[in-house]
Amino acid sequence: MFTCTATIDPAFVIAAVPPRLFGSFVEHMGRCVYGGIYEPDHAEADVNGIRLDVVKLTKELGITTVRYPGGNFVSGYRWQDGVGPLEERPVSLDLAWRSIEPNTFGLNEFMAWARQCEIEPMMAVNLGTRGVEEACNLLEYSNFPGGTQYSDLRIKHGVTEPHNIKLWCLGNEMDAPWQIGHKTGREYGRLAAETGKAMRRIDPSIELVACGSSSERMPTFGSWEADVLDEAFDVVDFISLHAYFEHHRDDRAGFLASAHTMDQFIEGVIATCDHIAAKKRSRRKLKLSFDEWNLWYENRLVVQDHLDWAHGPRLIEDEYTVEDAVVLGSLLMSLLRHSDRVTAACLAQLVNVIAPIRTEPDTDAWRQTIFYPFALTARHARGDVLRIEPVSPNLHSETGGDVPAVDVTATHNADTGEITVFAVNRDEHQSGDLRLRLAGAIAQEVVEHTVLGGADFLATNSKQTPNRVSPRSSTSHRIDGDLLCIDLPPVSWSMIRTAPAPMTAWSTDVD
């Protein structure tokens, strides 16, 4: 066993936990929509075709925001095809994923589902094959009360009240050569700026997200953000980040250090944003929207050009392991500690497609291993994120270099006095003895200690064994005065919640 130390002090605050940090992503890709959230023939479907078992798990997951309808899909999407009477909607070709799109689930169905799940929509507009006019028409249809062509069309379609969507993405991954309507940074920046300015004339209250790089591995990473923000800095509220992580070859240490890579990615984008702000003599601290992130075994993906045309094909339905869940928990920790700038994020995607929730036509939906760290973090990360600098031995990896064996972050709820600690042990062989000094806080007691991992790193949940992997309670902790000591098993993610100790435990001596 090795030792790691850190101090938790409620006075050292990074930022309040942003509610939008726990978002997800629903794209018309594979079986995310058709066969995922929407399956009229399923035993759990309601009268609108919505799978209620998926609604239940979405609420349990703690999702606050959902980005829709893409993704690559949006760059060729005609939103008008997905509204109005079902019998009048055309069947179309989705060029992004070579799929047949029936358009039986569109904007109004999505908004009804979002209300059912009690989530905020994050709508993307098509800036690949379309542009300023169509984005404005969609916004008018969605948000304008009535008395105009598109707002009256919405009312004609049975939606009397405006959807009042506040968060809008100006396209998707426009830096990527695989994107329909791919553009240079300058081309896209100009289009995003002009689209955003026009949309704000319709609804000044909306918030706008500009496309950042689709990956930090893109050859244009950094220069793309600079070019886009040179054009659109004064118009947009966010710039996006996208990143997917996977286990390469035999480098488990590098995979377990994925959050370290995420940290560097975020900090690089922040540096570019602040560079452009300085160049423009602006004091704005542009926010970041990490609106696609997850684990994705991209080496298993069949290249789009070789896919057969199909309706709701099975695409990248990765089955996640215990090890994957540990890494996902650490990625959430990275997002939390950058919550002063990353104020929106979307786990991609929600159902079936690299997702925490899986479905099949003949059974109930089930939770993948990655479901648990997300749900627990979304439920218990409350109040302020605290600045913590753990002192830990390093591990060496082929892809990540030297990284700390233990990562720690924490939140403090000033209203309740509760502290929630999230910790990851990346070491494959040794347990970690994490010693946390609780400074500046009244006496605490542990009210919950939950562990995921520590053994059977490759175990998964499946249709046959949906509950094989789940978090377990632990008693491997102790409090000695202001020192909280926690045992971290090898390759594990842990959550420890403390609350103020009862008054009877305090000294009541009075001079």
Q: List the catalytic residues.
A: 173, 292
The DSSP annotation for 95-141 comes to: TTTTEEE--SS-HHHHHHHHHHHT-EEEEEE--SS--HHHHHHHHHH
User: How far apart are the C-alpha atoms of 281 and 313, rounded to whole Å?
Assistant: 50
How many angstroms from the chain centroid is the CA of residue 295? 11
| DSSP H/E element including 344 | strand 342-348
Q: What does the alpha-carbon distance between residue 3 and residue 487 come to, in Å, rounded to a whole number?
A: 10
> Coil, strand or helix: which one is 509?
coil
Alpha carbon distance 490, 426 (integer Å): 7
Structure token pair of residue 53: 């078992």
Question: Do the beta carbons of residue 276 and residue 226 sit within 8 Å?
Answer: yes
The span from the CA of 155 to the CA of 301, in Å, is: 41
Helix/strand/coil percent split, the chain, to 5: 30, 30, 45
Could you tell me if residue 437 is left (phi over 0), alpha (psi between -120 and 50 degrees) or otherwise beta?
Answer: beta
